Structure 1
Amino acid sequence: MERVAAPLRIQVIEAIRNAIVAGRFSPGERLLERRLCEMVGVSRTLIREALRQLESEGLIDVVPHRGPVVAKIESSMARDIYMVRSELEGLAAAIFAERATEDDLQALREAYEGLKAISGSSDPVVRVAAKNRFYEKLIEGSGNKALGPSLNFLNSRILLLRATSLKAGGRLDKSIEELGELLEALEARDPERAKKAAQAHVAKAAEISLKFLAEAEAKEA
């Protein structure tokens, strides 16, 4: 039996996840083992382990008689996810404003500067990763041990939706502007203003993603 090195296994998972985020595989598209082996350059054993992990995260679905496919998010599910995300991230922002240390705030500033630094990038993987880093620092700085796991439960679906919203022309620049307003509220230690800024950002992302999803569903109808 082939022994799997943990670091390589993680690399394979990340490679497939990044390919999905980058749009190399479309929602509902079959993930053929042979093609994935060629893309990543590893054995089928590693590919199968990676697919099982991504299935457990909700990034792919296994369909009878078709095998693994990229998960599709219907607009109704997307609305529900954005509703929960708005509440959780609004709460995280409010708690961060009250509890975060100066080190937490500096880490968030650095993540924000990193986001601004890639504003000219057209690589969706780079863009989504920079957004994710900002949110990771926001959650960490809140110090609430339940928020991270709660958002992680939705993480793969949020990842797909984040990649969808950032497809819109000029969305990344607008997103950076919105997160700048959030950062200002956090620096001012204003919980209510921070919560409103976080939720306004999620609302705008939801508006754009839902528009893309509605257009895609209309084409399939």
Structure 2
Amino acid sequence: MCDWLRERIRRGRFVPGQRLVEADIISETGASRVRVREAFQRLEGEGLVEIEEFRGASVKRFTPGEIRQIYRARMALEGLAAAEFAGADAPDLKKQLKEIQDEMDEWEENGGHDRFAMLNNSWHQLILDGAGNEYVKQFISYLTVPIYRLLFSTFYTKERIRLANADHRKITSAILEGRVDDAERAMRQHISDGLNALSELDSQFH
């Protein structure tokens, strides 16, 4: 139940501030009321859901300050993951990373925003897998779900894809060549660049 709700928050099916109606979720999933309420409570503990008396559960709204804190935490954790992957003996995973990078290069040229977004998610996930640190993966999963709702086509403009993929190439090269410090530094800069781009996008709608 928790995974089902997380995925819909991730994909924007449930948007910030939206009430999570127990009856609708029960009807859609067949889950019991007890399971749904337990899922709400668990996601409240993860910071994804707010539960208010008389109003029930709703998707948490994140302030710009909270988004900045999330990105700063991602800088540290994903920087560490990139460094650990660069230093790891994981030839099969590194081969997969190269393949994803090659495909992202193709879609950068073709302008496929949705496909690039999917590849971007796979690329980040593979770096976490390659690091082999389950705690980092778990912490990152909590940090990334709240911002996935923002990563739609309005974020993945042609220019943003070009800049992001330039970062990707630097990070991928550093990991494949075993340059641990360069991989960490480049990943931290990549996450910082993403925060700056997100801040610019947010300012256009406020």
Structure 1 pair 142/18, CA: closer, same or farther in 2 (3 Å)? closer
Q: Structure 1 stretches (4+) deviating beyond 4 angstroms? A: 110-119, 212-216
Give the gaps of 5 or more residues in structure 1. Answer: 1-8
Structure 1 pair 98/41, CA: closer, same or farther in 2 (3 Å)? closer
State whether structure 2 residue 141 is matched by structure 1 residue 155. yes
CA shift at 1:51, angstroms? 2.6
- In structure 1, what is the Cα distance between the partners aligned to 2:144 and 2:51? 19
- In structure 2, what is the Cα distance between the partners aligned to 1:37 and 1:121? 34
CA shift at 1:214, angstroms? 5.1
The two structures have a TM-score, normalised by structure 1, of 0.72
Match of 2:176 in 1: 187
8 Å CA contact 2:128–2:137 kept in 1: the answer is no
Match of 2:93 in 1: 104
Give the gaps of 5 or more residues in structure 2. Answer: none
Deviations 1:27-79 (A, max 9, x none): 122111123234x3424434334333433332212123221111121111221
**Which aligned pairs between 1:106-125 and structure 2 lie closer than 5 A?**
106-112=95-101, 120=112, 122=114
- In structure 1, what is the Cα distance between the partners aligned to 2:84 and 2:162? 26
8 Å CA contact 1:78–1:210 kept in 2: the answer is no
Deviations 1:192-220 (A, max 9, x none): 3212221121012111223445566x4xx
Match of 1:60 in 2: 49
1:140 to 116, 129, 140: 129
Give the CA RMSD over aligned residues.
Answer: 3.1
Identity value in percent: 24
- In structure 1, what is the Cα distance between the partners aligned to 2:151 and 2:139? 20
The two structures have a TM-score, normalised by structure 2, of 0.76
CA shift at 1:17, angstroms? 2.4
Match of 2:185 in 1: 196
State whether structure 2 residue 55 is matched by structure 1 residue 69. no
Q: Which shows bigger deviation, 175-184 or 193-202?
A: 175-184
- In structure 1, what is the Cα distance between the partners aligned to 2:56 and 2:114? 31
Q: Supply the AA of the counterpart residue of 1:20.
A: I
CA shift at 1:181, angstroms? 2.3
